Structure formats: structure tokens, C-alpha cells
Chains A and B, each alone.
Chain A
Amino acid sequence: QQQVKQSPQSLIVQKGGISIINCAYENTAFDYFPWYQQFPGKGPALLIAIRPDVSEKKEGRFTISFNKSAKQFSLHIMDSQPGDSATYFCAARYGTGGFKTIFGAGTRLFVKA
């Protein structure tokens, strides 16, 4: 059973546009929601993260919006650039029991120049 559902599977955006990736979860035991960026042949890298007591977090062009009651969160990439083309994973971490993290299936983003 997929515990973190991510959509869309792939996304094509024009340079300068806004990229939006959505995720949903069910388990209220999650206490930390990171996003990771992965380039081909590389390991994922932490991009930005949020705790469930915060509704929005912004770092540069990247913003997480978090809706605790709906159990949904999303990543917005403003002014998308070709260098942002990568696979993005949302994730959710358990607050206890090893702090293991469950990942969404990933979104392949392509930003057209």
C-alpha cells in the first residue's frame, strides 16, 4: 500500500513558469515532510522540508504548502529553469521507531527553454 501518493508522474513546464507537484498521505504518525531532487545517475538531495505545524515554507524559488486537515502537501517551483529539470520526490518521515522515511513515486519535471 502506497503511503505517500504523488502526482503528476511527469510534468512539462515552460521556462519561467510555475511547476506544481502534489502529494497526499494518510498516516498521522508522520512528523516531517521533505522534498528531494534527483538528477540522473545521482542520489537524491534534500531540497526543502516542512513540519506539520507550519502551513507554508519558502526557500528561494521553492515553496511547500501544507494542509494538515486534508493530509496534503505540495511543492511549487516559481520561475522554473531548465536546470530544475530533474525527478522530484515528496516524502514523509515517521516521528518514532527509527525515523524511517516513506517516499512518493516521483515526478519527472522537464523545463523547456
Chain B
Amino acid sequence: DGGITQSPKYLFRKEGQNVTLSCEQNLNHDAMYWYRQDPGQGLRLIYYSQIVNDFQKGDIAEGYSVSREKKESFPLTVTSAQKNPTAFYLCASSNTGGNYGYTFGSGTRLTVV
């Protein structure tokens, strides 16, 4: 079955630690996206990528980094510079243009301990 796989489902981070969230898709989608979800604030865009080896900052990129070395993979690193990282992180993919919405993964819940 085609889809997006996010791992791990739950992640705990200590203060000052970097952590990497995995996102893999087998839908052959060109574009991939990372969103952060906080209660009452909807989904906010962190980074997005239209093609391999290229990505752009979204609205809340500070304290995050990404890479896009393969079409199928778009990992997100939450660095120690992100002061309030506790949130639900969602990865999505899409074809570009046309009448295409996003396919989302099942999310990673990150908690700072």
C-alpha cells in the first residue's frame, strides 16, 4: 500500500539535545512538507521541498533543519535552538499543481523531558 511512514510515533528529548524525525513516502510524490501542530493553532509550516536537494523555509523554520537527498525521504531535525519543541509533528507529500491535496503521515509526538 502506498503512503507516508513517520517514525517514531513518540519521541522524548532532553534539554540541549538534537533529535531527528523520519518521514518516508512511496507515493512517488515530488513535494514533501513538515508541519507542526499545537492545540488551537492549526498546522504551521516548518519546511517544504519540491524536488530533491532543494528545500525552503516555511513560517516557523527557526530551530529546525531538513534534508532531501532522496525523493522518498524528508527527515526533520529538531535542534537545541528550538526553545519550545513539544508538539505533534506531521509530514505530508503531494503532487505539485493540479487538484491535489496532501497525504499526511500519522505523526510524531515529541516531548521535552
Hey, which bits of chain A sit against chain B, CB under 8 A? 6, 9, 32, 34, 36, 41-46, 49, 51, 89, 95, 98-106
Give every chain B residue within 8 A of A104 (Cβ-Cβ).
42
Within 8 A of A (CB), among B89-113: 90, 92, 94, 96-97, 99-107
Interface size class of B (residues with CB under 8 A): 20 to 34
Q: Would B48 and A46 count as touching, CB distance under 8 A?
A: no
Q: Would B99 and A100 count as touching, CB distance under 8 A?
A: no
Most chain A beta-carbon contacts within 10 A, residue among B6, B44, B94, B105: B94
Q: Would B48 and A43 count as touching, CB distance under 8 A?
A: no
Q: Would A105 and B94 count as touching, CB distance under 8 A?
A: no
User: A101 and B102 in contact (CB under 8 A), knowing A42-B107, A43-B107, A44-B90?
Assistant: yes
CA distance A49 to B100 in the complex (A): 9
Neighbour of A100 across the interface among B58, B90, B100, CB < 8 A: B58
Q: Would B99 and A49 count as touching, CB distance under 8 A?
A: yes
Within 8 A of A (CB), among B39-56: 40-45, 48, 50, 56
Q: Would B41 and A46 count as touching, CB distance under 8 A?
A: no
Residue B74 at the chain A interface, CB threshold 8 Å: no
CA distance A98 to B42 in the complex (A): 20
In the complex, the chain A residue whose C-beta lies closest to that of B105 is A43
Known: A49-B101, A101-B101. 20 other contacts (CB 8 A): A6-B42, A32-B100, A34-B101, A36-B104, A42-B107, A43-B4, A43-B90, A44-B104, A46-B101, A49-B99, A51-B99, A98-B50, A101-B33, A101-B45, A101-B102, A103-B35, A103-B42, A103-B44, A104-B42, A105-B41
- 16 CB contacts below 8 A, A to B, read A9-B40, A36-B101, A36-B104, A41-B107, A42-B106, A43-B6, A43-B92, A44-B43, A98-B31, A98-B50, A103-B43, A103-B44, A104-B42, A105-B41, A105-B42, A106-B42
Give every chain B residue within 8 A of A32 (Cβ-Cβ).
99-101
CA distance A37 to B60 in the complex (A): 23
